[in-house]
Amino acid sequence: MATLKEISAELGLSVTTVSRALNGFPEVKEHTRVKVRETAERMGYRPNRIAQRLVTGRSGMVGMIVKIKPDMSADQTFFEMLTGLTAALASRDTDLVLAVDQDSDPVTPYKKLLERDILDGFILNAPIVDDPRVTFLQDHGVPFVMHGQDRPDPTYPSFGIDNAQVSAQSVKLLANLGHKRIALINDELRHAYASERRSGFHAAMEQRGLSTDYVQNSATLESHGYMHALDMLSGSAPPTAFICASTVVAAGVMKAVHDRGLRVPDDISVMAHDDALPLTRAINFDPALTVTRAPLRDACSPLANILLDHLDGKPARELQVFQDIETIVRGSTGPAPKEV
Amino acid sequence: MATLKEISAELGLSVTTVSRALNGFPEVKEHTRVKVRETAERMGYRPNRIAQRLVTGRSGMVGMIVKIKPDMSADQTFFEMLTGLTAALASRDTDLVLAVDQDSDPVTPYKKLLERDILDGFILNAPIVDDPRVTFLQDHGVPFVMHGQDRPDPTYPSFGIDNAQVSAQSVKLLANLGHKRIALINDELRHAYASERRSGFHAAMEQRGLSTDYVQNSATLESHGYMHALDMLSGSAPPTAFICASTVVAAGVMKAVHDRGLRVPDDISVMAHDDALPLTRAINFDPALTVTRAPLRDACSPLANILLDHLDGKPARELQVFQDIETIVRGSTGPAPKEV
DNA sequence: TTCAAAATTCAAAACGTTTTGGAAAAAAAT
DNA sequence: ATTTTTTTCCAAAACGTTTTGAATTTTGAA
């Protein structure tokens, strides 16, 4: 493995110039830059990352803690994120170090990884409302990027979707179809995103003078979707439309509608937010699911870049980006049924 | 963050001595060692890993490639390994870098990660027979440890169970109970472990003069276990006992036995190999499952240590360790039924 | 031609550790 | 009292890069 010194010796140049030539500094003659590039290539030069890191004070490694559910079941979103993040980080010479959260206290795994004293920053995901990890990391001056936001006006870099907007768009679509009684099958409210969706839902409904009687916040399982929908549909003035936290929940809701002897979309409209995970594809529903859509995969590259930009000194307030959400109308939504 | 230099200045010692005192070298007076330790502690000294790595030529990072199934579903074993490995590696100041295998060619992801030129070695798992990754890594002189073995007498460090022994023990247990027609519901033969189990099964059966008519090698899904068992049980001289590749397969087999109107263990004995994954616990079966048992979690620490010992120069032939397997008799096995 | 300005190059320091080859001090042997 | 051995310590080099501050060369204008 060739080093800068060897290249400089080969060319009769100084190490400085070789370094600058390869790193694209302006103060090196084009002629020499070409020559340096050529011999570097020829000698199979590859910068020693460790040496780079020693002198720059950066480790080139960022951490992420994987939260495992009590049953050790793997989160489907995890591999989606892992795939995207490692690719995005690699393109900026950064590696992802993983650790598993088995502790009850949410900050302990971060503390542990931090003690190893090797990380430049963290990527956080799945924020809960007023996330304790935020306080901890900020107190310790550790840079991080959050996928989502744990509070309305955060002071840290973040990337995510506008969840209030998700609800607003969903309500708008359904209200325009004439629906009045719209249900929200939401995630547990401790999840920041669920809290935002709820606020957005309430705001959008109240703006139209619609009541928000049908809201449930619980774990996003198919079975829960099924249960809640069944329950709501057996009331005296049942909802005519469901907004679901995820496509998985929508699957449960649709099953409940079916089991009630009702049809989608004729009797009941169903829509969901779609992270575009490969396993549960909205297009494969019958009828195909109307969704607000923001592929999780699309978040990976921005998350990586935001964190690395932040490490390069870019201030947090310039690094709070929202992902676009698409509304895709498919077969599972239709005009509200005539009132009897 | 204090450095060695600062500590040496504080104590009027040389950097050398401080370094040696902290690293437990013998040639430093006990008195000074104590003093150095104290001030290091007091000044909050933590060795700069990057600097250590630059001078030692090691990066302190090992890689692992996660193979994702086509449906992107998460492998249950993955989190089990991730948890154990990160903990074991951390205790020897090593980090785990993950990448996801999405390619069709099994060596490409290794090549890619190698190009980043930052890893000390790899941890491989799930070997297939004559695994191409072995050839590739050995050709490139990259150290690795394999969880399992891809060939009978490997030249690389490895840790795993003796899969022939798994079959041997299972057959022995069942044969001693009087079973003659024993089925093996095995994984696909390209998996090295499945191939070994098959050989072991054949050897053990033939040694007892028993025929090996009932063998199926296919993906270890519950549905496959169900299918194959149902199929075998409808033959003219059906098996009286099943050896299953995993507890998941056993679940399917038991269901099939039940659906055939037969009882476990009165009519049919069922046993399996148990990796002791938290999700599918053999003890929760009804009746509780007789198993050969070797917790996957127990493999993590040895795997980490074997790789790191190898990196420290220990030769491969001293680093081929087999994990003990336990045979645990529970309710799912019993004496062979009397022949009609 | 001459001189200032711009462009290009370089030597050396720095990052924080480990390791090498001695040197000084203390202890033991002569 | 001198030499030898052992113990304890140290200065300096090394790892491979980036960066600083200055030196050299080239260019352009006077």
pLDDT digits (tens, 9 = 90+) for B150-194: 999 999 999 999 999 999 999 999 999 999 999 999 999 999 999
pLDDT in the model for residue A42: 94
Q: Give how far B297 is from chain A: nearest CA, Å.
A: 13
A313 vs B214 pLDDT, higher one:
B214
CA distance A145 to chain B (A): 19
How many percent of chain B have pLDDT more than 90?
83
Supply the DSSP symbol for B261: T
| Chain segment A260-277, per-residue pLDDT in tens | 999 999 999 999 999 998
Task: Answer whether A319's CB lies under 8 Å from A155's CB.
Answer: no
Q: How far is CA B185 from the centre of its chain?
A: 20
Are the Cβ atoms of B73 and A279 closer than 8 angstroms? yes
At residue B299 the predicted structure's pLDDT band, cuts being 50, 70 and 90, is: very high
Which residues are bridge partners to B67 per DSSP? Answer: B101
Which residues in chain A touch residue B83, judged by CB atoms under 8 angstroms apart? 68, 100, 102
Q: Which fold has domain B4-47?
A: 434 Repressor (Amino-terminal Domain) (1.10.260)
Q: What per-residue confidence (pLDDT) applies to A75?
A: 67
Q: Which residues pair with B242 in a beta bridge?
A: B183, B270
B283-305: average pLDDT: 96
For A279, the closest of B59, B72, B83 (CB atoms) is: B72
Is the pLDDT reported for residue A223 higher than 90?
yes
What are the φ and ψ backbone dihedral angles of B63, each rounded to 5 degrees?
-110, 155
Read off the DSSP letter of residue A318: G
Quick one: angle between helices A4-11 and A30-42, nearest 10? 120
Using 50, 70 and 90 to split pLDDT, how confident is the model at A340? Answer: low
pLDDT of residue A83: 87
The residue lying closest to nucleotide C6, measuring its CA against C1', is A27
Q: Do domains B4-47 and B61-161+297-323 have the same CATH topology?
A: no
CA B1 distance to own-chain centroid: 39
CATH number for domain B163-295, candidates 3.65.10.10, 3.40.50.2300, 3.40.50.10600, 3.40.47.10: 3.40.50.2300
Q: Domain spanning A61-161+297-323 has what CATH number?
A: 3.40.50.2300
The reply to whether B83 touches chain A by the CB within 8 Å rule is yes
pLDDT in tens, A17-76: 999 999 999 889 999 999 999 999 999 999 999 999 999 999 999 999 988 765 545 567
- Our measurement of CA B132 to C1' D14, in angstroms, reads 38
pLDDT value at position B307?
Answer: 97
Contact B76 A73 (CB under 8 A): yes
Residues of chain A contacting residue B73, judged by C-beta atoms under 8 Å apart: 74, 76, 279
The predicted pLDDT at position A277 comes to 86
Contact state of A82 with B100 under an 8 Å Cβ cutoff: yes
CATH topology of domain A163-294: Rossmann fold (3.40.50)
What is the torsion angle, in degrees rounded to the nearest 10, for the CA atoms of residue A163, residue A164, residue A167 and residue A173? Answer: -110
Question: Chain A contact for B34, CB < 8 A?
Answer: no
Q: Is the pLDDT of residue A80 over 90?
A: no
pLDDT at residue A279, as a whole number:
77
Q: Calculate mean pLDDT across residues B214-231.
A: 96
Residue type, B178: G
* pLDDT value of residue B6: 93
Q: Which residue has the higher pLDDT, A217 or A69?
A: A217
Question: Residue A229 pairs with which residues in a beta bridge?
Answer: none
Which residues of chain A neighbour B97 with C-beta distances below 8 Å? 95-97
Return the structure tokens found at B110: 């290794």
**Strand extents, DSSP E, A125-254:** 144-147, 158-161, 182-186, 215-217, 241-244
| Angle CA A230–A231–A232, to nearest 5 | 95
**Domain residue spans in chain A?**
4-47, 61-161+297-323, 163-294
What is the DSSP annotation of B208-241?
Answer: TT-----EEE----HHHHHHHHHHHHTSSS--SE
Q: How far apart are CA A84 and CA A298, in angstroms?
A: 8
Contact status of A51 with chain B (Cβ, < 8 Å): yes
Q: Is B96 close to A97, i.e. CB distance below 8 A? A: yes
> A88: number of CA atoms within 13 Å, CB side?
21
Q: What is the pLDDT of residues B107-154, one digit of tens each?
A: 999 998 888 778 999 999 999 999 999 999 999 999 999 999 999 999
Contact B113, B63 (CB under 8 A): yes
The pLDDT tens digits of the residues spanning A161-197 come to 999 999 999 999 999 999 999 999 999 999 999 999 9
Report how far residue B67's alpha carbon sits from residue A131's, in angstroms, rounded to the nearest whole number: 32
**Is the pLDDT assigned to residue A157 strictly greater than 70?**
yes
Residues, CB < 7 Å to strand C: A 12-17, 20, 27-32, 51, 54-55, 57; B 1, 3-5, 15-16, 19-20, 22-23, 45-48, 51-52, 54-56
A322, A161 contact by CB (below 8 A)? yes
Is B284 an interface residue toward A (CB < 8 Å)? Answer: no
Q: Among A70-84, A163-177, B98-112, B258-272, whose mean pLDDT is lowest?
A: A70-84
Pairwise pLDDT comparison (B70 vs B150), residue with the higher score = B150
> CA–C1' span, A17 to D29, in Å?
29
Question: What pLDDT score does B70 carry?
Answer: 57
Cα–Cα nearest to B274, from B289, B258, B254, B257: B289
How much is the mean pLDDT over chain A? 93
* Cα of B13 vs its chain's centroid, Å: 48
Residue A321 to residue A336: CA distance in whole angstroms: 36
Average per-residue pLDDT for chain B? 93
User: Looking at this protein, which amino acid is placed at residue B127?
Assistant: P
Distance B86 CA to D19 C1' (A): 36
Residues 156-215 of A with CB under 7 A from strand D: none
